[in-house]
C-alpha cells in the first residue's frame, strides 16, 4: 500500500520548490520507507537549486526518522527502528552493492529524482544503505544534522586530517559544518582554533563551540591574519621567510576565493626537518583553483579533499550521538532555526543570505 507523503519538489525549470502531497510506492527489495521527524537544510542543496537539471529534483540528505516499511531483501534495519538518513552509504566496502538513488512519480507522470536519498519530506523512501540504525531514545529533531553537517565537519578534522593535540587549526566558514569542525578540533586539544567568516555574529557563535580566535574576512586578509597568529619566532623557511601558517586549514565553503586561500594559510615547512601544513577542502566546489606550485613544493604543503568527512556512517554516527548525549557536541545549540515544511523556500532564502548561524532544520508534524 502506498504511503502518503508531503514532499518538497524542485521543478525542472528555475523557480521555487513546491510542497506536494504524493504517494510513496511500497519499498523495492533494498528500500525502506521512513517517517521523518526532522531534516537538516544544507548548503550543498543551494548548488543543486542553482544548477541546471534534466528532471524535477528531490532534495535534502540528512534526517532522523523511524522505519515504517522494509523491502524483502533489507537486512540492516527493521520496522520500528530509529534511523539517521545520510548521503554516504554505510558498509560501503562490505556490501559490494551500489545504493540506488530515490525517485518518485509526480501527478503529471514525470519522475522526480534524488541524487541519493531525499529528506525534505515528512516521509521518504531510500536505499537501506542510506539509513543508519541508532538507539531509539535519541533526540528526534536536532540529531537530524548528524547525517551531513556533523559527519562532514567533525570527520574532516578527526578522520581525513587526523588533527592531533597541539596542532594549529584554521576553519573557513563556520556554519553547521564548520562549527562541527570547531567542536572536533576543540575536543582533540588543537590550539589555536581560528574561525574565519564574513559575519561577526557567526564568529562570536563559533567561540561558544571552542574557537580561540576569529577573523572577519570582510575586514582583514585572512591569510595574513592566520600567519600572524601562528608565526614562529626566529624560525625561517628555506626562502628565508618566517615560518608561519596553521598546521591544518579547512575550507568549509568551497568558493574559488577560499579554496585559493587555504594553501597559502597552511604552515610553511623546512627541508626534511618538518613537512608543511595541510589545506583540506570540505565544502563542495563549483570551480577550479589556482595553486602556487612553488609554495606547495618548497614548503611541502598538501592540498587534500574530505568527502563526507571520510566517515563510515554505521561506525561514526553512534559516536557523534554519544558526543551529543554527553554534552561534548551540543546539537541543541548548533540547531538555531526550525521551519515547517511549507516554509522551505523561506529557509532556503535565509541560508542563501547568510542569516542562519549554525544549522536550520525542517521539523515535520
Ligand atoms: Zn549536506
| Interval 170-205: pLDDT, tens | 999 999 999 999 999 999 999 999 999 999 999 999
296 and 175 in a single domain? The answer is yes
How far apart are the CA of 284 and the centre of ligand 1, in A?
A: 9
How far apart are the CA of 47 and the centre of ligand 1, in A?
A: 11
Which CATH number characterizes residue 195's domain?
A: 3.40.50.720
254 and 223 in a single domain? The answer is yes
313 and 300 in a single domain? The answer is no
Mean residue pLDDT of the chain comes to 95
For residues 236-263, give the mean pLDDT: 93
pLDDT interval class at 238 (50, 70, 90)? confident
How far apart are the CA of 40 and the centre of ligand 1, in A?
A: 8
256 and 330 in a single domain? The answer is no
Number of structural domains, the chain? 2
Is residue 241 one of the residues assigned to a domain? Answer: yes
How far apart are the CA of 61 and the centre of ligand 1, in A?
A: 6
How far apart are the CA of 280 and the centre of ligand 1, in A?
A: 17
175 and 211 in a single domain? The answer is yes
Q: What is the pLDDT of residues 132-156, one digit of tens each?
A: 999 999 999 999 999 999 999 999 9
Residue 212 has pLDDT above 80, yes or no: yes
For residues 77-94, give the mean pLDDT: 93
How far apart are the CA of 123 and the centre of ligand 1, in A?
A: 19
How far apart are the CA of 86 and the centre of ligand 1, in A?
A: 9
Is residue 153 one of the residues assigned to a domain? Answer: no
Global pTM reads 0.96
323 and 211 in a single domain? The answer is no
For residues 151-163, give the mean pLDDT: 98
102 and 196 in a single domain? The answer is no
Q: What is the pLDDT of residues 95-137, one digit of tens each?
A: 788 899 999 999 999 999 999 999 999 999 999 999 999 999 9
Which CATH number characterizes residue 70's domain?
A: 3.90.180.10
182 and 299 in a single domain? The answer is yes
129 and 185 in a single domain? The answer is no
How far apart are the CA of 151 and the centre of ligand 1, in A?
A: 9
What is the pLDDT, as a whole number, of residue 240? 83
How far apart are the CA of 364 and the centre of ligand 1, in A?
A: 19
What is the pLDDT, as a whole number, of residue 365? 79
Q: Which of 305, 330, 353 is the last residue of a domain?
A: 305
Residue 237 has pLDDT above 90, yes or no: no
What is the pLDDT, as a whole number, of residue 273? 72
Residue 235 has pLDDT above 90, yes or no: no
Q: Which of 288, 305, 322 is the last residue of a domain?
A: 305
> In which domain, by residue range, is 212 found?
162-305
Q: Burial of 80 by CB count in 10 Å (0-12 exposed, 13-18 middle, 19+ buried)? A: exposed
How far apart are the CA of 41 and the centre of ligand 1, in A?
A: 7
Amino acid at each position: 500500500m502506498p504511503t502518503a507523503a508531503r514532499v518538497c519538489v524542485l521543478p525542472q525549470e528555475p523557480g521555487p520548490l513546491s510542497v506536494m502531497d504524493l504517494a510513496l510506492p511500497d519499498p523495492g527489495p533494498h528500500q525502506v520507507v521512513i517517517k521523518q521527524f526532522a531534516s537538516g537544510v544544507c548548503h550543498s542543496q543551494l548548488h543543486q537549486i542553482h544548477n541546471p537539471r534534466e528532471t524535477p529534483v528531490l532534495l535534502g540528505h540528512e534526517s532522523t526518522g523511524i522505519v515504517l516499511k522494509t523491502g524483502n531483501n533489507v537486512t540492516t534495519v527493521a520496522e520500528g527502528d530509529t534511523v539517521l538518513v545520510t548521503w554516504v552509504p554505510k558498509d560501503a566496502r562490505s556490501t559490494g552493492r551500489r545504493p540506488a538513488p530515490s525517485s518518485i512519480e509526480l501527478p503529471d507522470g514525470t519522475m522526480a529524482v534524488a541524487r541519493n536519498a531525499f529528506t525534505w519530506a515528512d516521509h521518504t523512501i531510500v536505499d537501506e544503505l542510506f539509513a543508519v540504525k541508532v538507539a531509539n531514545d535519541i533526540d528526534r529533531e536536532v540529531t537530524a544534522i548528524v547525517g551531513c553537517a556533523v559527519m562532514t565537519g567533525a570527520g574532516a578534522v578527526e578522520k581525513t586530517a587526523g588533527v592531533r593535540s597541539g596542532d594549529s587549526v584554521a576553519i573557513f566558514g563556520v556554519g553547521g559544518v564548520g562549527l562541527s569542525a570547531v567542536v572536533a578540533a576543540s575536543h582533540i586539544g588543537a590550539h589555536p582554533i581560528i574561525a574565519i567568516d564574513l559575519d561577526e555574529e557567526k564568529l562570536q557563535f563559533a567561540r561558544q563551540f571552542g574557537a580561540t580566535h576569529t577573523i572577519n574576512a570582510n575586514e582583514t586578509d585572512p591569510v595574513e591574519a592566520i600567519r600572524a597568529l601562528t608565526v614562529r619566532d626566529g624560525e625561517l623557511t628555506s626562502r628565508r621567510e618566517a615560518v608561519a601558517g596553521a598546521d591544518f586549514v579547512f575550507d568549509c565553503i568551497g568558493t574559488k576565493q577560499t579554496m585559493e586561500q587555504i594553501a597559502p594559510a597552511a604552515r610553511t615547512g623546512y627541508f626534511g626537518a618538518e613537512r608543511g601544513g595541510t589545506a583540506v577542502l570540505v565544502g563542495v566546489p563549483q570551480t577550479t583553483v589556482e595553486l602556487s606550485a612553488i609554495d606547495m613544493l618548497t614548503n611541502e604543503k598538501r592540498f587534500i579533499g574530505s568527502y563526507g568527512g571520510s566517515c563510515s556512517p554505521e561506525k561514526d554516527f553512534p559516536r557523534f550521538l554519544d558526543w551529543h548525549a554527553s554534552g561534548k557536541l551540543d546539537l541543541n545549540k548548533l540547531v538555531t532555526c526550525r521551519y515547517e515544511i511549507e516554509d522551505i523556500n523561506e529557509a532556503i532564502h535565509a541560508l542563501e543570505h547568510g542569516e542562519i548561524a549554525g544549522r536550520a532544520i525542517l521539523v515535520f508534524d
